Amino acid sequence: MTSLLLSPAERAQLAMMLEVCAFPKPGNVDRCHDYPDTRLEHFLASVILARPALDEAALGKGRIGEIIGHAVRQTSMHSGGNTHFGAFILLIPLLYGGDIEGARTAVTRTDVSDAVAFYKAFALTRVRMNEEDELDVNDPRVLDELRERDMTLLDVMQYSAANDMVAREWINGFMLTRRGADILHQIGPGRGAVVEMFLTLLATEPDTFIIKKHGRAIAEQTMEKAREVLDGRRVLETFDAECIEAGINPGSIADITIAAIFIALGEGWEWDS
Amino acid sequence: MTSLLLSPAERAQLAMMLEVCAFPKPGNVDRCHDYPDTRLEHFLASVILARPALDEAALGKGRIGEIIGHAVRQTSMHSGGNTHFGAFILLIPLLYGGDIEGARTAVTRTDVSDAVAFYKAFALTRVRMNEEDELDVNDPRVLDELRERDMTLLDVMQYSAANDMVAREWINGFMLTRRGADILHQIGPGRGAVVEMFLTLLATEPDTFIIKKHGRAIAEQTMEKAREVLDGRRVLETFDAECIEAGINPGSIADITIAAIFIALGEGWEWDS
């Protein structure tokens, strides 16, 4: 497929679609596995419904925080809950800036209005956060707090970076996004590359979503098991079943996987050959 | 999901997504089964890529034949071949007219320019047709023939109606589309209703795509087996496996299923409750 002929928003949608369909993707919703309340169709409905916000971001006008809010609102029109909040945190600046270089610049231009819009969007999702967080999204005073401290959205991401690898992408220049795209180029064309890239990231980075839910030890065990699958010492399907059984879903690496597919598609990686 | 808040194009995309994900859908590509050259991801890529043509149709301006052509061209940007030609033949007039009543009027207003645009789009697909057809899409003289006879696109559908149940929808006022939507309302909310509706249509109508490929006897046997599944005398998964083994794919009933989901969503049928 000549993905280079697609619009940026279409590439972002294709990336979201390819990520959720890729299987078996240990612990996450995929072609073979639903969660009780969030199913494959909910993810794919979000892919469809996010189009206007993705188009808006690709224009590179308006404010990033607000556009993330639009994406969250548009994709909340189904009963499956949050599907792509983390992915939008990456895709929207990447679309806005046009590429990783442009996104690095774009995030430095966010201001307190972006931070406020982002927190309003965050409050609409049911995304897990650390309980001791002093910028708690459920605390009604948080917006005043942001304004008093004059925090930009980049400041918010800096604040969250220690515990959230998606936020960390804003700080480190989209390093894992870049690495994921490079892995796809190395593996070569075909949808099978998505699972291998996902596993490679999972083997080298503790997923912060798993850490928030289950603690660091479980996140590190999961890395170790992913490494064993890549080395042929563990069966992928068994690993998947173990993750599902234990409720271990590497959601943040899934978000970065989407961003990496988006970048790779824009650089000519072919998903369907 | 409050599908009534969606744009018409979003509803059409949702219908296409729900149809291809529904499983097990005997003989067709679904969540559990790919064809070697056409996979789930190709169908879902088409769902994403068709958006501009679906939006164009919903405006109710321009020419139906040309918009079908746009949809075919937009969705040919992957290597999976034709995925939704039949579905577009139904969705485009339904979007154009706003509902079944409007589509009935819209198809009567097609002219020879629609017929010519449609045949040009048809030639881009690899859709099976009867070999003895005198309006053979692969015959370069066919466009002159259409012009000489001053055939409208409705005339073309009339001409094809005897052997093609999708074309027949244009002639009979979208009768099976209406019946499929009514079946969804009767079954009630939830994605499981899609498979049941598909089976119900399959049990009562010989699929003309199967007839063209395998002959009438096989199409009638397939109806019989679908009836047995609905009556609990045959296992759905076994029926699916038999169809796949024999290369029997009820592609035209899949197209009508998409149109029926689209209509039902617009009338408040809830897919995700």
- Which pTM value belongs to this model? 0.95
Model confidence at A2: pLDDT above 80: no
**CA atoms of A191 and A186, how far apart (whole Å):** 13
How many A-B residue pairs are in contact by the CB < 8 A criterion?
75
pLDDT digits (tens, 9 = 90+) for B248-273: 999 999 999 999 999 999 999 999 88
Q: What residue of B is the nearest CA neighbor of A21?
A: B41
Per DSSP, the three-state class of B134 is coil
Nearest one of A264, A257, A272 to A28, comparing CA atoms:
A257
Q: Provide the pLDDT for residue B141.
A: 87
Q: Provide the pLDDT for residue A123.
A: 85
* Class of residue B36 by CB neighbours under 10 A (exposed 0-12, middle 13-18, buried 19+): exposed
- CA B102 to chain A, closest CA, distance in angstroms equals 25
- CA B56 to chain A, closest CA, distance in angstroms equals 15
**What DSSP element (H or E) covers B98?**
none
Q: Provide the pLDDT for residue A3.
A: 67
What are the chain B neighbours of A272 within 8 Å (beta carbons)?
39, 41-42, 45, 78-80
Q: Look-up: residue for tokens 């897990």?
A: A128
Structure tokens at A22: 């890729």
What are the chain B neighbours of A10 within 8 Å (beta carbons)?
48-49
Best mutation site among B3, B47, B48 for testing chain A: the one with the most A CBs within 10 Å? B48
Q: Provide the pLDDT for residue B125.
A: 83
pLDDT digits (tens, 9 = 90+) for A16-67: 999 999 999 999 999 989 998 999 999 999 999 999 999 999 999 999 999 9
By Cβ distance, the residue of B2, B13, B80 closest to A48 is: B13
> Under an 8 A CB cutoff, do B272 and A79 touch?
yes
pLDDT band at A140 (very low <50, low <70, confident <90, very high): confident
pLDDT band at A124 (very low <50, low <70, confident <90, very high): confident
Structure tokens at B222: 């397939």
Q: Where are the alpha helices (DSSP H) in B109-250?
A: 112-124, 142-149, 153-160, 165-171, 175-187, 192-204, 208-214, 216-230, 236-246
Report how far Cα B186 is from the mean position of its chain's Cα atoms: 21
φ, ψ of residue A33 to 5 degrees: the values are: -145, 130
